[in-house]
Amino acid sequence: MVFQLAPEALKQGYSVEGHHTVGSTNALALERATDGDAGNLWICALKQESGRGRRGRAWETPVGNLAATLLIVGSHDPKRAATLGFVAGLSLSDALQAAIPGASLSVAADAGGTKDGSRFALKWPNDVLADGAKLAGVLLESTFLPNGRFAVAVGIGVNVVAHPSDLPYPATSLQALGSDLSAETLFTSLSGAWASNVSLWDEGRGLSAIRDRWLERAAGLGGDVAVRLDGAVLRGTFETIDEDCRFVIRLNDGSLTQIAAGDVHFGAVASASAS
């Protein structure tokens, strides 16, 4: 087991710490920050025993899947730092496209595909889909440090060799898609893609460029959508994401609503899971 950085990441001063098994790569990254690590540190593992997703949900990482967390330490504004999730999703999409070239999957937009049928689609706010099914997720966690410093753990989990089957939505893995790509090889590609996209992000000054690239691969753009938030369900059309990367839905009465957090469902899954 060897996790290696891409040349672009090495040039930008990133480092990597590899493990076979950890409790949580995010938790370990934040521990490193508390202990004084300066950041730009990737922590990777082939298995997590206590991984988690959004809203405290469990995230399974059996042996052979990829759990990777990037620790970033700085003086970031929390609101600006939150947009790093979009950098992460875009970077993973770039890495997958580079590592697994091939024909598009031609998934319909209303089923979670992109308008141009790209192989990998980005589902707001933090998922990567393949063939309309969840392949990967992103989770940002943060903590304040002494002297006004702020640490962000950008966690990325990818179903490489296995995926859960007991979910209320479809999921898949690279192996199920016919790929023999390893977690280690995927990580190398991911580290290079991150180095490129975070330079474009430019401490938040380039967020509009990240947003434009993200929208090119947005799952379900222009299609029917249901968003569950605070016990209610909003239905309409996925219009765009705004300048702050909030989800914008055109409701059935024609009005626009911006959503900062919620569970998004497309097509048939919207009817089945968000009712």
Same domain? 93 vs 118: yes
Q: Which residue type occupies 185?
A: T
Q: What share of the chain is helix, strand, coil (3-state, %, to 5)?
A: 30, 35, 35
How is residue 250 written in tokens? 């055109």
Q: Is 135 helix (H, G, I), strand (E, B) or coil?
A: strand
Same domain? 173 vs 45: yes
Q: 228-254 pLDDT, tens per residue? A: 887 789 999 999 999 999 999 999 899
State how beta strands 127-130 and 120-123 pair: antiparallel
Over residues 23-42, the mean pLDDT reads: 96
Q: 59-114 pLDDT, tens per residue? A: 567 889 999 999 999 977 888 999 999 999 999 999 998 888 663 443 444 444 45
What is the CATH classification number for the domain harbouring 158?
A: 3.30.930.10
Same domain? 205 vs 231: no
Give bridge partners of residue 152 from the DSSP assignment.
Answer: 72, 142
Is residue 125, in this structure, part of any structural domain at all? Answer: yes
**pLDDT for the residue 216:** 94
Beta strands in 75-132 (DSSP E): 120-123, 127-130
pTM of structure: 0.89
Is residue 1, in this structure, part of any structural domain at all? Answer: no
Tell me how many domains the chain contains: 2
Expressed as residue numbers, the domain containing 256 is 224-273
Same domain? 197 vs 268: no
Same domain? 102 vs 39: yes
How is residue 14 written in tokens? 């990133």
Same domain? 239 vs 208: no
Give the whole-angstrom CA distance, residue 223 versus residue 40. 38
Same domain? 205 vs 233: no
Is residue 136, in this structure, part of any structural domain at all? Answer: yes
Using an 8 Å Cβ cutoff, are 163 and 61 in contact? no
> Which single residue is written with the structure tokens 């975070």?
198
Host H or E run for residue 170: none
